[in-house]
Amino acid sequence: MKKYWIFLMIAVLVIAPFSATMSKTDERQLSFYHTHTSESLTVTYFRDGDYVEPALAELNHFLRDFRTGDAVTMDPAVFDILHEIQSESGSSGTYQIISAYRSPATNESLRGKSSGVAKNSQHLLGKAIDVRLTDLDTAELRDVALSLKRGGVGYYKASDFVHVDTGRVRQW
């Protein structure tokens, strides 16, 4: 009987965290509102252990360079970061998109107007997104993003948004 209880305890300690992780990651959904196009999108981009290709295609179009209409394949890891921010913060809000993919022409144009736009921006690669979250203060959004240690995090207090990307871990 004692061996049974030991086995049961080990099973609980090993399987319970695994099943909790599986239930968290089994389906990932995000809601967006694009501040420049006024478009909205709620999409389940990950299900049953894999990315949902039609959903990723919708996201690629939604997050296109709104100035030129150009689109790129966005790095799905950026969506995972956004999902994890919501999970960690307890948010159920909508992400307001300030900027996502930028064409080279758009990036150069913005660089001419602001010193805060990087020449080799992660936005050019579809690996970055600038956001607000409707039910989370941007300073808290920044703090949660930084705690993940999953890529770059920029905080733009005056413009009230946070940049997250899948590049190396850094902050500004």
What is the residue extent of each domain of the chain? 29-171
Query: What span, in angstroms and rounded, lies between the C-alpha atoms of 103 and 171?
Result: 23
Structure tokens at 106: 């758009």
pTM of the prediction? Answer: 0.82
Segment 108-116 long-range contacts (CB within 8 Å, at least 24 positions apart)? 109/67, 116/156
- pLDDT band at 2, cuts 50/70/90? low
Structure tokens at 81: 């970061």
Neighbour-count burial for 46-59, b at 16+ CB within 10 Å, e otherwise: beeeeebeebbeeb
The CATH classification of domain 29-171, taken from the options 3.40.50.1580, 3.40.50.150, 3.30.1380.10, 3.40.50.360: 3.30.1380.10
Task: Indicate whether 130 pLDDT > 80.
Answer: yes
Query: What span, in angstroms and rounded, lies between the C-alpha atoms of 168 and 150?
Result: 8
Distance spanning both ends of the chain, measured CA to CA:
58
Task: Indicate whether 106 pLDDT > 80.
Answer: yes
**47-61: pLDDT as tens digits:** 999 999 999 999 999
Lowest mean pLDDT among 64-68, 107-111, 158-162: 107-111
- 42 three-state secondary structure: strand
